[in-house]
Amino acid sequence: MSIPVVDPERYDQQLAAKRERISRQFERFSPPPLEVFASPPSHYRQRCEFRLWHEGDDLFFAMFEVDPDDPKHKRVIRLDDYPVASGRINELMPRLRKALLASDVLRRRLFQVEFLTTLSGEALVTLIYHRPLDEAWENEARRLQQALDILIIGRSRKQRLVLERDHVWERLEVEGRTFHYQQVENSFTQPNAEVSRAMLTWARDVTRGSQSSDLVELYCGNGNFTVALAENFRRVLATEISRTSVASAQQNLAANGIDNAVVGRMSAEEFAAALKGDKGGRRVTEMALAEYDFSTVLVDPPRAGLDEASCRQLSEYSRVVYISCNPDTLEQNLESLSRTHRIARFALFDQFPWTHHCECGVLLERHVA
């Protein structure tokens, strides 16, 4: 791992390089012009984790970087600030370090600190230890929570102490609407809130005009897209395997007053089997799949992309919205999907500036016979 070097004056240059790379990589699929959505050039990550490094009486936030001269060796990089992280995280870093230096109870055997923040400044800080946490720790942590105006969770082996709550509420303004998202500690959320807003805006745009049909969503996470797209469809059926994410998605549907979407806990493979008629027990029966008219499928898979069976399943839909965090596996999947569909919209979302990572969005429409 190398720590991103943030240089805002070069941002346009690095984004242009990504545009060129993605355009070249997917050229053979004859996509329309690439739509590019920029990130803020700095202070864009709403969540970060750091090692807490101890040197004698001192301690500081740290990350590790592979030594290019000795790849087996990792160098400890001290971080007094971190331009990648949100303004709120940068504001908290020196204040938290100062408080830890002043408290033997809070600093003892503390080895990792995780931050989860929102655009409005809400902050959840998780302190992770190599020792059991006791009443003395809890008393000190409650004082710190009040002093820094944050939420605190303490973790150690087989122990998780939530002092107030285990989540923050992100509010994203999208096309004049405010969407509310519960984001739970230690579960996946989009790290770049501004780019997440762009992704939701794009996804709403490419699915507009579908109110007479239904959307099926695979890998829905905490309902990030489900919430924003529900009004574009008659009904939405979303699936997700993570129990925590399903619970959070259901909270988010309720918080946004959405009554035409359902989230079911099952894997993409289980759902594919259910569509083919596998009874699958009570969960499948409750979905009442026969009542849906799915015109569109949205898929946001992990970095490994989709297997061939999943691609065959997607090919049965009129429209496919594919959100990808790995252009290489997206390219592989398009080899299959392009047999039945054409790329109607193509987007690059710069979720992770100053790294080689690219997030893409593709709208696929079935070939007209």
What is the set of active-site residues? 325, 359
| 44 and 4 Cβ atoms separated by less than 8 Å | no
Q: Contact, 48 vs 85, CB < 8 A?
A: yes
User: What three-state secondary structure class fits 350?
Assistant: coil
Burial 336-360, CB ≥16 within 10 A → b, else e: bbbebbbbebbbbbbbbbbeeebbb
The closest of 252, 123, 247, 238 to 178, measured between CA atoms, is: 252
d(CA 165, CA 90) in angstroms, rounded, equals: 22
Dihedrals phi, psi of 266, to nearest 5 degrees: -165, 160
Which are the contacts of 208, defined by CB distance < 8 A and separation ≥ 6? 232
Determine phi and psi for 76, rounding to 5 degrees.
-85, 125
- Please name which of 249, 369, 346, 352 lies closest in space to residue 28, comparing C-alpha atoms: 346
Tokens of 359: 């997030």
State the binding site for S-adenosyl-L-methionine: 190, 219, 224, 240, 300
Task: With H, G, I as helix, E, B as strand and everything else as coil, classify residue 110.
Answer: strand
From the list 290, 328, 314, the residue with the least C-alpha distance to 363 is 314
Annotated binding site: 190, 219, 224, 240, 300
Q: Compute the distance between CA of residue 152 and CA of residue 154 in angstroms, rounded to an integer.
A: 7
Nearest to 191 by CA among 135, 245, 93, 116: 116
Residue 192 near residue 357, CB atoms below 8 Å: no
